[in-house]
Amino acid sequence: MVEKYKSEHLYEWMVTVRRILHQHPELAFKEVETAKILMAELDKLEIAYNYNGPGNAVIGRLPCKHPAAPVVALRADMDALPGTENTGLPFAACMKDKMHACGHDAHMTMVLGAAALLKVSPPPCHVLFIFQPAEEKGGGARVVLESGALQGVSAIFGGHVTHHYRVGEIMVADGVITAQSDRFSIHIKGKGGHGARPHEATDAIVITGLLIAAMQTLVSREINPVYPAVVTIGTVHAGSAPNVIAAEAILEGSIRTTLPEVRDRIHNGLKRMARAMGELHNAKVEIDITQGYPPVVNTTRETYIAYRAAQKVVGHAGLMTLDHPSMGSEDFSYYLQKIPGCYVRFGARRHENEYIPLHSPEFDINEEVLKVGAAFFDEVVREAAQEFSS
Ligand code: NI
């Protein structure tokens, strides 16, 4: 077989590390064993690191002999998801209630692979290897930023595996690539009563039905159709018996948008509809909206750096662009609010025509993607060093 990627010789080691990480999934901010596995590998590579105790972040450092050289950061997320793995893999999760269903085991391994390549042949810049806790929940990126560990970083790069592309394909796109994700909960307080005497009650379930129908017009009638937006009601809880009018109902849902003005319009629209529906039907309707991760907005200069690196690794044929942002979300966005950078996607499906969504109990990757990711992260650091020193 022709040696295709610079990281080819690391493959066996990367597969071993990825499988160990895969077997030991840990939830957000509980990545203690994961941190230990990473530190053991960094020790073997003779790369110094800081372990950020309770946050579990591990930050490896490869210093440059020129102190004034730029600092380039690579970021991998560490956490797994709740849920039972159903892959049947020999290295499936040891425990029944957690699994690496989002490929973060692969991301950590790719950054370790890049660390191995960069250690052997150091680039003309300082490199930080950021292993970040709690991407899925809790915004670990913010914790890392607030720790001050990224002060002086010139650019940051990260990536995610996906079944949308084949192995050997890297998606690089400028600008907005993921959505802002917010949550809402609506509490409808009516008046309970006997199912036969509606005139004595205020039926929270009828108000819920009307409100759900009204909310469907928010995106379809109030948002410019060229801008993406989603309002999903994920849970509805109300009622206790067939012949009892429900006094209360609780709805919960998710809002996805890519522009602040669209987000504000949906937030205001939801509040307006909740208030109006309460007034219309003589109930108390409370709404609570929690802002989630902001959109990932890649910066242009760093996107071109990533583009050149990807082209070196997978050639023209492997370079993918994005027609439209994903409506998923990612806390890499917090870094990009402070530091220029680019977030990419690595094709990882195992067979042609296979599509297993992230977060599904069957999720697995084609491990060949580890080579692509490691080679890309190595190359992007070198490209960035060159760009910033020229
Ligand atoms: Ni993920």
- Among this protein's residues, is 367 annotated catalytic? yes
- Calculate how far, in angstroms, residue 79's C-alpha sits from the geometric centre of ligand 1: 9
Pick the last residue of a domain from 291, 325, 360.
291
- Calculate how far, in angstroms, residue 77's C-alpha sits from the geometric centre of ligand 1: 7
Q: How many domains does the chain have?
A: 2
Contacts of 143 (CB under 8 A, 6+ apart): 55, 57, 133, 134
- Calculate how far, in angstroms, residue 134's C-alpha sits from the geometric centre of ligand 1: 10
* Domain co-membership, 92 together with 139: yes
Pick the last residue of a domain from 266, 291, 316.
291
- Calculate how far, in angstroms, residue 200's C-alpha sits from the geometric centre of ligand 1: 50
Say which of 5, 49, 293, 335 is annotated catalytic: 293
Count other C-beta atoms under 10 Å from residue 3's C-beta: 8
- Calculate how far, in angstroms, residue 232's C-alpha sits from the geometric centre of ligand 1: 20
Say which of 33, 222, 252, 367 is annotated catalytic: 367
234 pairs with which residues across the strands? Answer: none
129 pairs with which residues across the strands? Answer: 60, 74
* Domain co-membership, 174 together with 270: no
Helix, strand or coil for residue 264?
helix
**CA distance to 175, 219, 233, 358, per residue, from 230 (Å):** 20, 7, 10, 19
Pick the last residue of a domain from 291, 325, 341.
291
CATH of the domain at 347: 3.40.630.10
Count other C-beta atoms under 10 Å from residue 198's C-beta: 12
Nearest-CA neighbor of 254 among 230, 220, 280, 223?
A: 230
* Domain co-membership, 113 together with 231: no
Helix, strand or coil for residue 170?
strand
* Domain co-membership, 325 together with 286: no
Q: What local confidence, expressed as pLDDT, does residue 3 receive? A: 56
* Domain co-membership, 215 together with 85: no
User: Phi and psi dihedrals of 21, rounded to 5?
Assistant: -60, -40
- Calculate how far, in angstroms, residue 104's C-alpha sits from the geometric centre of ligand 1: 6
Average pLDDT, 10 consecutive residues per value, the chain (390 residues): 81 98 97 97 98 89 95 98 94 93 97 98 98 93 94 97 96 96 97 97 98 97 95 97 98 96 97 97 97 96 98 96 91 97 97 90 96 98 93
Strand pairing class (319-320; 170-171): parallel
- Calculate how far, in angstroms, residue 103's C-alpha sits from the geometric centre of ligand 1: 6
The model's pTM: 0.91
CA triplet 172, 56, 381: central angle to 5 degrees? 30
User: Phi and psi dihedrals of 309, rounded to 5?
Assistant: -65, -45
* Domain co-membership, 147 together with 40: yes
* Domain co-membership, 137 together with 200: no
Nearest-CA neighbor of 144 among 63, 79, 210?
A: 79
Contacts of 84 (CB under 8 A, 6+ apart): 96, 97, 99, 361
* Domain co-membership, 114 together with 140: yes
CATH of the domain at 228: 3.30.70.360
- Among this protein's residues, is 293 annotated catalytic? yes
* Domain co-membership, 314 together with 267: no
- Calculate how far, in angstroms, residue 102's C-alpha sits from the geometric centre of ligand 1: 4
- Calculate how far, in angstroms, residue 101's C-alpha sits from the geometric centre of ligand 1: 8
| Domain range enclosing 161 | 3-178+295-389
* Domain co-membership, 243 together with 256: yes
* Domain co-membership, 143 together with 257: no
* Domain co-membership, 66 together with 165: yes
